[in-house]
Amino acid sequence: MFRRISQFCKQLFEDAPKTTAPTPAQIEPQTPELTSGGLSLALVPRDAHSISRKQISENALKVLYRLNKAGFQAYLVGGGVRDLLLGLEPKDFDVVTNATPEEIKKLFRNCRVVGRRFRLAHIVFGRDVIEVATFRGHHGESNEKISKANAEGRLLRDNVYGEIDEDAERRDFTVNALYYDISDYSIRSYGGGMEDLKAGTLRLIGDPETRYREDPVRMLRAVRFATKLSMTIDEVTAKPIKQLAPLLKDIPAARMYEEVLKLFFAGKAVANFDMMQEYKLFAPLFPQVDALLKEAPKGPAMKMVQAIMKSTDDRVNEDKPVTPSFFYAAILWYPLRQRAEDIAVESGLTLYDAFFAAMGDVMEQQCQTISIPRRFSTPAKDIWQLQLRFERSQGTRAFKLLEHPKFRAAYDLLLLRGEVEGGNLAKSAAWWQQFVEADETERLTIARSGNKASGNRNRNTPQRRRRRPSGAKAKAEE
């Protein structure tokens, strides 16, 4: 028994043959073949690529080997293969096979089948989840139970299974059409994926307009991969994006929330924002912000967006935490202020009260395009409310405000606003910065000095209107 376990472990973790594999730049082009669909295929043997099983997660290997042992084809596919070839650490490892979700479930007790648009098997190993997909095929005769598209061509259901060549033709970019074969450790490169990886070119498989209409999120993926991998989007691939960008409005808001996390919380927020602006992809996600950017391209709203993107990148690169609550509070601050001013004019409310009415409106409208979970939208509103208290709390009240659970996030937004607007707001931010960074003894002195200067209110901060006396009290005052 012990000998068999040892032999299995040796097979699992040792690579053969023992050769020094080249980097992608050193790979000699293989003679390509053509698939039945006309997509080129190049086979890269083990001794001609740099991937080792030691670089693949143990759980992914378990899934690959069990599928292979059961008589199914099993491949590591997509981003995991691509990143390993580029010398990057993959975020996750995805597997593709000719086994159906039901057959996969019979092999793994820790399997759950998920998805409606395209059914997937998730093999759960504690916190690690290996996603296993069945080879996708081409859509033939219409059958709404397995495949369905809307009038714009977007796939609503895509449970058509096929062979590996068909699956490759259904992939989005050539650099993601790379399959690591666990049976002989070779790589199947479709559509010139290996060559595009070497050249740093991001190229869509198939007709770009058709593929974007099938799934408009591919336009966002093109931007994200281009910045993440330092690649250039192929001219043909890029051409339809501006025209088709409005299709993103039809994507479910919950899915867009996940895409925003990938775009702006991975250390490439500035680069992604700039490229999204170039291809008109930012407007469908943040219509309220975009309206202000168009109105004043160099105004405070643009400065705030640039500041929050840079701040988020800095924190990610320094391994500091970033939260959607702060991100959305910051990026929506100027739409909130604009909406509050509109409500004040329309209703006659004070600007202070109009701000509270505007918070729900702005957040509700944003959630129509990006579904922000309540666990983040509620703290974002707390951060907004604290902005109204900063100027009013200079002095001894500052100690109480300092104890608020969302004080730090609100304080960071105040500093960003001070950088953006300058003037009295910058002075208020400087006072708070001095107060926060001081020790307990110094804080008391600073707070007392703040009380003396509290008459100089920041014009950017809404103030409560004093109520006019009424009734008997008014007559007594007369």
- In this predicted structure, the answer to whether residue 384 has a pLDDT above a threshold of 80 is yes
Q: Please state, in angstroms and rounded to a whole number, the distance separating the CA atoms of residues 385 and 374.
A: 16
- Verify whether residue 47 is a known catalytic residue: no
- In this predicted structure, the answer to whether residue 10 has a pLDDT above a threshold of 50 is no
Among 49-63, 129-143, 278-292, where is mean pLDDT lowest? 129-143
Q: Please state, in angstroms and rounded to a whole number, the distance separating the CA atoms of residues 457 and 471.
A: 31
pLDDT digits (tens, 9 = 90+) for 277-316: 999 999 999 999 999 999 999 999 999 999 999 999 999 9
- 92, 314, 382, 412: which is the annotated catalytic residue? 92
Residue with more model confidence, 32 or 74 = 74
- Verify whether residue 184 is a known catalytic residue: no
Extended strands (E) in 117-226: 120-125, 128-134, 147-149, 155-158, 178-181, 187-190, 201-202
Close Cβ partners of 320 (under 8 Å, ≥ 6 residues apart): none
- 94, 158, 181, 234: which is the annotated catalytic residue? 94
The torsion defined by the Cα of 248, 254, 257 and 258, in degrees rounded to 10, comes to: -100
pLDDT at 25: 44
- In this predicted structure, the answer to whether residue 85 has a pLDDT above a threshold of 50 is yes
Q: Please state, in angstroms and rounded to a whole number, the distance separating the CA atoms of residues 195 and 174.
A: 9
pLDDT at 213: 95
pLDDT digits (tens, 9 = 90+) for 240-259: 999 999 999 999 999 999 99
When pLDDT is averaged across residues 439-457 and rounded to a whole number, the result is 71
- 83, 172, 290, 313: which is the annotated catalytic residue? 172
pLDDT at 158: 52
- Verify whether residue 274 is a known catalytic residue: no
Residue 465 confidence class, pLDDT cut points 50, 70, 90: very low
Residue with more model confidence, 386 or 463 = 386
pLDDT at 440: 84
Q: What is the CA radius of gyration of the chain?
A: 28
The three-class DSSP label of residue 351 is helix
CA angle 333, 334, 340 (to 5 degrees): 95
When pLDDT is averaged across residues 39-52 and rounded to a whole number, the result is 94
- Count the neighbouring beta carbons within 10 Å of the beta carbon of residue 156: 11
When pLDDT is averaged across residues 425-436 and rounded to a whole number, the result is 93
pLDDT at 394: 78
CATH 1.10.110.30 for the 206-284 domain, yes or no = yes
pLDDT at 37: 61
- In this predicted structure, the answer to whether residue 199 has a pLDDT above a threshold of 80 is yes
> Between 324-331 and 333-347, two packed helices, what is the crossing angle to 10 degrees?
50
- In this predicted structure, the answer to whether residue 156 has a pLDDT above a threshold of 60 is no
Q: Please state, in angstroms and rounded to a whole number, the distance separating the CA atoms of residues 289 and 369.
A: 12
State the maximum Cα–Cα separation within the chain, in Å, rounded to a whole number: 103
pLDDT at 331: 98
When pLDDT is averaged across residues 30-43 and rounded to a whole number, the result is 73
Predicted TM-score (pTM) of the model is 0.82
CA-based nearest residue to 288, from 367, 399, 378, 394: 367
Average pLDDT of every residue of the chain: 86
Q: Please state, in angstroms and rounded to a whole number, the distance separating the CA atoms of residues 281 and 266.
A: 18
Q: How far apart are the first and last CA of the chain?
A: 102
When pLDDT is averaged across residues 382-399 and rounded to a whole number, the result is 88
- Count the neighbouring beta carbons within 10 Å of the beta carbon of residue 154: 18
pLDDT digits (tens, 9 = 90+) for 332-369: 999 999 999 999 999 989 988 999 999 999 999 999 99
Close Cβ partners of 261 (under 8 Å, ≥ 6 residues apart): 324
Among 134-138, 178-182, 263-267, where is mean pLDDT lowest? 134-138
Residue 227 confidence class, pLDDT cut points 50, 70, 90: very high
CATH number belonging to the domain at 286-452, selected among 1.20.1050.10, 3.30.565.10, 1.10.3090.10, 1.10.10.10: 1.10.3090.10
Per-domain residue ranges of the chain = 206-284, 286-452
Residue with more model confidence, 223 or 478 = 223
- In this predicted structure, the answer to whether residue 145 has a pLDDT above a threshold of 50 is no
Q: Please state, in angstroms and rounded to a whole number, the distance separating the CA atoms of residues 234 and 140.
A: 29
Residue 453 confidence class, pLDDT cut points 50, 70, 90: very low
When pLDDT is averaged across residues 259-287 and rounded to a whole number, the result is 97
Residue 139 confidence class, pLDDT cut points 50, 70, 90: low
pLDDT at 119: 85
